[in-house]
Structure 1
Amino acid sequence: MQQLLQTIMSDDAEPDDFANVEIPEHYRGVGVLADETEMFVGVASEERSPAKSLHLQSVATPQPGPGEVLVAVMASSINYNTVWSALFEPRPTFKFLARYAREMPEAAHHDQPFHVVGSDLSGVVLRTGPGVRGFQPGSRVVAHCLSVELSSSDGHNDTMLDSDQRIWGYETNYGGLAELALVKANQLMPKPDHLSWEEAAASQLVNSTAYRQLVSRNGADMKQGDLVLIWGAAGGLGSYATQLVLNGGGIPVCVVSSPGKAELVRSMGAELVIDRSAEGYRFWKDPDTPDPSEWRRFGSQIRELTGGEDPDIVFEHPGRETFGASVYVARRGGTIVTCASTSGYEHTFDNRYLWMHLKRIVGTHFANYREAWEANRLIRRGMVHPTLSRVFPLAEAGLAAEAVYRNTHSGKVGVLGLAPREGLGVRDHALRERVLPQLNRFRESRLGS
């Protein structure tokens, strides 16, 4: 592995050097174990710990098949699907791996008693399987997380509609929280040259998801002047949504959970901010009974901030806790665009406010390759910036996932793979210097203030 790292770190290594470098037979990867899927049975969700179930383990290096690529992972990041994998909720991900192998015999190697997780990476291509074009050993890349087969007609207009689409590192094995990873070639995109490895690894899942959710015609199709309510605007997904709304001429109404996070989104350019903790919003009277009076109070505060206007778009991802309020506050004819449901999948809302006011609920899930490419292009051009706040070593990936689960972070939490330290991998120093304040914004945040 040291020889491999030296080749990556060299300024004059050629594609042939990468093609000829020795690939180790084993590498370190972070994942869950099939024989531990019952470890949290009877334990309440809030008492479960990703740090207990995520293990750093030795993994046999897979060989790339047709259309596949083996990548040296310099850095990765934590997404909420890794938290779900670690909690074994809503179901153990080993069921996904078994189904993948059953439905796609060429994917049988994914069905293992371990699951290496992680749905982001930045790194360097080492080996390509048959049929791969556009990338070669030595290519510096980031990977988006859509693994798609396109074996039926369903996905040829929009790959997210393909019956065999899966999320890499969640519904497939050999994910990005590792030293090596196995991906499909059509997951790869050029690494932004002005970013370090850990910065480049932070964005692809959340930025692409937010892009489809807000900008794409497959989502809310946001236009200039739209008022957009953004839940968790200082978090991993919301911090990119806030940037996309501002870039697109929209008006974000940012909902956050602390004064420190409120200041953080204001520093991004958001003017309309609601600190839900300070306001004491409780959208449920008890675990089974929503509180519409809180929906109305929330809607009134939004109108006070906006000069009497309701949101054209509600950017939804918390799910059960907030969904009733989201449907209520959207303007007549407005759109609630939803993904993830991190607080629960069973949504409760008053359908009168949907049907009688002609509102729409649009479900979105990650992004197709074109949407991911366009989202990455905004980052490469310095128009959208990583919102990286903390970086952990690979051995502490469980603690990184714990921080995301407990919401003790802002923006994105990164994890180093093969990169020996932070700050490496930058090539475009001029662009970096120009956007350095934006790159450091979340690193310098203090959420306790």
Structure 2
Amino acid sequence: MSSLVEAVLAGASPSELERAELPQEFTAAHLRVEDVDMFRNVADKDVRKSLRVGPVAMPELAPDEVVVAVMASALNYNTVWSAMFEPLPTFQFLKQYARQGGWAARHDLPYQVVGSDGSGVIVRVGSGVRRWRVGDHVVLNPVHVDDQEPAVHADGMLGTEMRAWGFETNFGGLADFTVVRASQLLAKPAHLTWEEAASNLLCAGTAYRMLVSDRGARIKQGDVVLIWGAAGGLGGYAIQFVKNAGGIAVGVVGSESKAEAARALGCDLVINREEIGLTNGAEHDPAEVIKIGKRLGGIIRKEVGEDPHVVFEHVGQATFGISVFVVRRGGAVVTCGSSTGYQHQFDNRYLWMKLKRVIGSHAANYQEMWETNRLISMGKIMPMLSTVYPLSEAAEATRLVQTNGHLGKVGVLCLAPETGLGVTDPELRQRIGADRITPMRPFATNGAGALVG
């Protein structure tokens, strides 16, 4: 253990952290460029074979960056894509970024440290960083933008150089240390543990922009919102935002255990995919898509009284045609991803003739992330954390997400030696109620070696 790690774990003062030597290497979950073709012609692209945990070199710090000692991180589906080398190897993103030269060239390495969530302690600041100090407790916003690009000042997500940290950049969060831009930092919610705080921003910020922001659906009181994958990380935050806004949440899930979890979050109506006949391959048959859409719409009208104003869509190929069909006249399908495939088929007559809209949404800009983190810090939005793995088992945790065997968010302890650490406002935690803070925990089933704190 390095002197800096010892100092972080001991809660050392900022001056002590600054005096401790930055290690030249640290442990990280990473991919190797020589493995890019390992899944060619392989049906089961098991990410446990490609994701390694071991030493990597500490990168040099740019003037607008900080080094964070990562106490905890979390899994997102983009790490699954990276570890499968699909839809293309993320090493191509690193090479493209490195062509800018300068500090960007550091990212083109024969390995990539992955992970797009994290919480931790700042241990170094670049010469151009103004608002953050060594010793600050932070959570990490996964949106990596160039603040010298004009479009970013209107909306960070419109910048052509916007990248997902730990997916389209190197030095991600599934590691003992990470390097991030100052514009990726937000204050850690003081009532949360390291692992609770680390599990939020990518999914919660994405859901906020999709549903609450004026760049998304801008939901209001009484809106009926259909949420696919309601017991997952994205879906769980979506339920909470809908309920906070006074809307009616309708969730679709894949099992009764996930249905129970969605109801516990406040979902007004929960529908099992089996009820509507949604099975693998149905999305490729246009007639079957309409049949499923009619079944789904019939259930919603019977139980709620009207069609959805908004569909929260991130599943992609398997559900997109149904989403376009089932949303009401003048309604909106808001999409942020395609975990089942990017090539979507839908009957365009139901889009144009009924004046429906498709809204593309990607992550969230810095202000939207700040607003999301504010709600979390106030106890208005709860972490979707269900299960926690140690960093040494990051590959196993990623496999759990790959096979959809999880609920909510899967956390990863990095430097934090155990769960339950990092709370600096125990009074607020007590007022909110510790049992309310992680509503997914009672429904989680552990994977091998998993920790539930």
TM-score normalised by the chain length of structure 2: 0.95
Given that 1:312 and 1:330 are in contact with CA atoms closer than 8 Å, whether structure 2 keeps it comes out as yes
**CA gap 1:225/1:447 in 2 versus in 1, 3 angstroms:** farther
Q: Are 1:445 and 2:443 an aligned pair? A: yes
Secondary structure in structure 1 of the residue aligned to 2:433: helix
The answer on whether the counterparts of 1:392 and 1:415 sit within 8 Å (CA) in structure 2 is: yes
Alpha carbons 2:210, 2:361 under 8 Å: kept:
yes
Q: Is the CA contact 1:283–1:294 (under 8 Å) kept in the aligned structure 2?
A: no
Structure 2 residue 32 is matched with structure 1 residue 30? no
SS of residue matched to 2:225: strand
How far has the Cα of 1:162 moved from its partner? 0.3
Partner of 2:294: 296
Match in the other structure for 2:18: 19
Amino acid paired to 1:27: F
Displacement of 1:154: 2.3
What's 2:215 paired with?
Answer: 218
Q: In 2, distance between residues paired with 1:99 and 1:318?
A: 28
Other-structure match for 1:235: 232
1:381-392 alignment, distance < 5 Å: 381-392=378-389
Question: What secondary structure sits across from 1:71 in the alignment?
Answer: strand
Moved more, 269-278 or 26-35: 269-278
Q: How does 1:56-135 map to 2 (within 5 A)?
A: 56-135=53-132
Question: Which amino acid in the other structure matches residue 40 of structure 1?
Answer: F
C-alpha deviations, 1:33-84, integer Å up to 9, x for none?
101000000113xx11111100012111112112011110000000000000
Counting only pairs closer than 5 Å after superposition, residues 268-279 of structure 1 correspond to structure 2 as 268-279=265-276
SS in structure 2 of the partner of residue 444 of structure 1: helix
CA shift digits 1:117-173 (9 cap, x unpaired): 000110000111121011111010000101111333222200100011100000000
Q: Which residue of the partner structure matches residue 41 of structure 2?
A: 42
Q: Give the drift of 1:354.
A: 0.5
What pairs up with 1:354-369 in 2 under 5 angstroms?
354-369=351-366
- Residues 34/278 of structure 1: CA separation in 2 closer, same or farther (3 Å cut): same
Match of 1:6 in 2: 6
Q: Counterpart of 2:302 in structure 1: which amino acid?
A: E
2:186 and 2:438 map into 1 onto residues whose CA distance is: 24
Letter in 2 for 1:189: L
Q: Secondary structure at the match of 1:193?
A: coil
**Identity percentage over the alignment?**
50
Encode CA deviations 1:271-297: one digit per residue, 9 max, x unaligned.
211111354324844746561212111
Q: 2:183 aligns with which of 181, 186, 194?
A: 186
Residue number in structure 2 paired with 1:257:
254
- Matches of 2:3 and 2:127 in 1, distance apart? 25
Helix, strand or coil: the match of 2:441? coil
Q: Which residue of 2 aligns with 1:171?
A: 168
Q: Which runs of 5+ in 2 are unaligned?
A: 447-453
Alpha-carbon separation, structure 2, partners of 1:26 and 1:222: 47
- Is the 1:235–1:410 contact (alpha carbons within 8 Å) kept by the matching residues of 2? yes
Q: Who is 1:317 aligned against? A: 314
- Supply the AA of the counterpart residue of 1:266: R
Residue pair 2:284, 2:345 contacting (<8 A) in 1 also: no
Distance across 2 between alignment mates of 1:414 and 1:446: 12
Partner of 2:450 in structure 1?
none
Paired with 1:279 and 1:153, the residues of 2 have a C-alpha distance of 47
Cα shift at 1:360: 0.4
1:223, CA displacement in angstroms?
Answer: 1.0
Matched, 1:52 2:49: yes
Q: What's the secondary structure of 2:410's corresponding residue?
A: strand
- What RMSD over aligned residues (CA atoms) do the two structures have, in Å? 1.5
Moved more, 146-155 or 318-327: 146-155
Contact 2:283–2:318 under 8 Å retained in 1: no
Q: Secondary structure at 1:263's aligned position in 2? A: helix
The answer for the alignment partner of 2:451 in structure 1 is none
Name the CA distance, whole Å, in 1 between partners of 2:146 and 2:61.
Answer: 15
Further displaced range: 404-413 or 263-272 = 263-272
Does residue 149 of structure 1 match 2:146? yes
Closer, same or farther: CA 105–290 of 1 in aligned 2, 3 Å: farther
Supply the AA of the counterpart residue of 2:292.
E
Counterparts of 2:25 and 2:370 in 1: how far apart (Å)?
A: 31
Q: Secondary structure in 1 aligned to 2:443? A: coil
8 A Cα contact 2:406 2:444, kept in partner: no
Closer/same/farther in 2, CA of residues 286 and 324 from structure 1, 3 Å limit: closer
